[in-house]
Amino acid sequence: MSVLLGSSLALASAAQAETLRWASQGDALTLDPHAQNEGPTNTMSLHLHDPLVMRANDMSIEPGLATSWEAVEETVWEFEIRDDVKFHDGSDFSAEDVAFSLNRARTEPSDFRNYISSIENIEIVDDTTIHIHTSGPNPILPQQLTQISMMSKEWAEEHDVETAQDYASGEESYAVRNAMGTGPFKLESREGDVRTVLTRNDDYWGMDRFPMEVERVVYTPISSDSTRVAALLSGELDFVLDPPVQDLERLEEEGDINIEQGEENRTIFLGFNLREEDSEFDNVDGVNPMADKRVRQAMYHAVDAETIQRVVMRGRSIPTGTIAPPFINGYPEELDERLAVDQEKARELLAEAGYEDGFELTLHCPNDRYINDEAICQAVAGMLGQIDIEIDLVSQTRSLHFQDIGNREVGFYLLGWGVPTFDSEYVFNYLYHTDDGERGSWNATGFSNERMDELVQEMGTEVNEERRNEMIAEAWELADSELVYLPIHLQVLNWATREGVNVPLRADNQPHLATATFDN
């Protein structure tokens, strides 16, 4: 690994402050901006491309490639498009590219189609004006557009990538390793899981709006915690997005390392497989233990989030009783209370369900996506073992883990969920709605409830805030009663930078390097 670091990280000395050397434990899954709705992948995409509407570092909404927007009719949003924007190849950005990009993102196999499922069609009014027609009133469409990258229609047609990569099937396309957007940085080189180099787009429309002090970005995924820390301490790295919690105290004692900490807009939880009557992921013949709510309750009673916080996360997490982050509209504060840790109660529930001797169960877990994800799963396995549920832990890189989730080849599984729209509808749309090809694309549990589906669809079109929040509250009550997911904790962000390097902390855990600065 030291040879790799020497060749791929030591590309800029401390005197070359315009280069920012950045690392985290995993790489973007793909450069296709509409293929995978996943945090690190979106982070990379949004350095190369722009959305119509952006999130500022404080998470407020601000203009991106659209200068203004308004609902001109009950089911029509009008967006005015910047007329001074160029793609990285010098070609003009126009409303035609907006229509192309939105259509690409809202149709299969794009993982963003749930985001903007309300869109029925995009009308090009002129080169700088579009009308987005929705199936019903959509009060949160601007928030939903903050993660949808705009692409060049001409470039996509030239390279035969008019549709998004089918990531779940392992499809390869030109857009997987190449990109050409309007964003603050251009792609210089890309070697997946090794290194990605970006250079500043000096013709960027936002040059006068953002600091744009970073001229070159060298991103290196480093899966080893100790190697990431060593590279930061030695000066080979300027910024580590995910320093290991076990090393934070040591890093904080270093005079030339700064740690920024804050709550992330993300919860970590476990999903139950309710899909099958007889699951292949347990050793019980003829039935699926997790389909019995008593079993799910028993497993919840056995998982001690306080111990995970103290031992695994070194205090850097916040145990939660809901999968809703407190940042979002509709956060059910009254439901944010965990079931008591009670092994005796857990065994009683298992016995009532007919599993007094326990059973064996597969737990699928990523090992390079969330903070201490594999260690969390190991702790959960030990806790469930105390009530005679023996866990077979399948721990793998997140690219394979998310493929398995997409292909519904998981049983009991770990997932983290951020909410970029800052609205409860996003959680219900992806995780609770019936997986029908339009919504529920990350609902690998198989949960399906007619009333939940009605609420999800109604809250997506209700413009009366009081009625809409009543729908959201009812949906959270229903979700709580069904116990589809087992919440663990709210993730806490810890960003580490070398002295003199300033990367503003963001609750969405997506650094915006156009706003990074260097002390002179």
What is the identity of the amino acid at 320?
A: T
Predicted pLDDT of residue 9: 43
Predicted pLDDT of residue 437: 85
Predicted pLDDT of residue 520: 74
Q: What is the CA radius of gyration of the chain?
A: 23
Contact 82, 67 (CB under 8 A): yes
- Residues paired with residue 196 on neighbouring β-strands, in sequence order: 190, 219
Q: What whole-number distance in Å separates Cα of residue 344 and Cα of residue 341? A: 9
466 to each of 82, 144, 247, 453, how far by Cα in Å? 35, 20, 46, 20
CB neighbour list of residue 467: distance below 8 Å, 6 or more residues apart: none
Predicted pLDDT of residue 12: 38
Name the helix (H) or strand (E) containing 221: strand 216-221
Report the Cα 95 to chain-centroid distance in Å: 28
Instruction: Report the chain's terminal Cα–Cα distance, integer Å.
Output: 32
Q: What is the mean pLDDT for each group of 10 consecutive residues in the chain (520 residues)?
A: 40 56 96 96 98 97 98 97 97 98 96 93 97 96 97 98 96 97 98 97 97 98 96 97 95 93 97 94 96 98 98 97 97 97 98 98 97 97 98 97 96 97 97 94 97 96 96 98 98 96 97 95
Q: Taking phi first (over 0 means left), then psi (-120 to 50 degrees means alpha), and beta for anything else, what does residue 99 get?
A: alpha
Predicted pLDDT of residue 14: 37
CATH tag, 264-492: 3.10.105.10
Half-sphere exposure of 225 (CA within 13 A, CB side): 17
Predicted pLDDT of residue 2: 36
Alpha helices in 235-342 (DSSP H): 248-253, 293-302, 305-307
What is the identity of the amino acid at 298?
A: A
Contact 54, 153 (CB under 8 A): no
Contact 257, 233 (CB under 8 A): yes
Among 242, 238, 247, smallest CA distance to 500 is for 238
Residue 147, φ and ψ in degrees, nearest 5: -110, 5
Burial environment of residue 48 by CB neighbours within 10 A (0 to 12, 13 to 18, 19 or more): buried
What is the identity of the amino acid at 217?
A: V
295 to each of 275, 288, 298, 332, 387, how far by Cα in Å? 15, 10, 5, 24, 11
CB neighbour list of residue 53: distance below 8 Å, 6 or more residues apart: 61, 62, 63, 64, 66, 69, 142, 143, 145, 146
Name the helix (H) or strand (E) containing 404: helix 398-406
Contact 430, 191 (CB under 8 A): no
Alpha helices in 254-372 (DSSP H): 293-302, 305-307, 343-352
Question: Residue 397 is encoded by which pair of tokens?
Answer: 């890189």
Sort strands 412-418 and 359-366 into parallel, antiparallel or unpaired.
Answer: parallel
Predicted pLDDT of residue 469: 97
The three-state (H, E, C) secondary structure of 288-304, written as one string: CHHHCHHHHHHHHHHCC
Contact 486, 296 (CB under 8 A): yes
Q: What whole-number distance in Å separates Cα of residue 132 and Cα of residue 372? A: 41
Contact 251, 235 (CB under 8 A): no
Residue with tokens 């709605």: 433
Predicted pLDDT of residue 438: 86
Name the helix (H) or strand (E) containing 458: helix 450-459
| CA geometry: angle 319, 321, 326, nearest 5 deg | 80
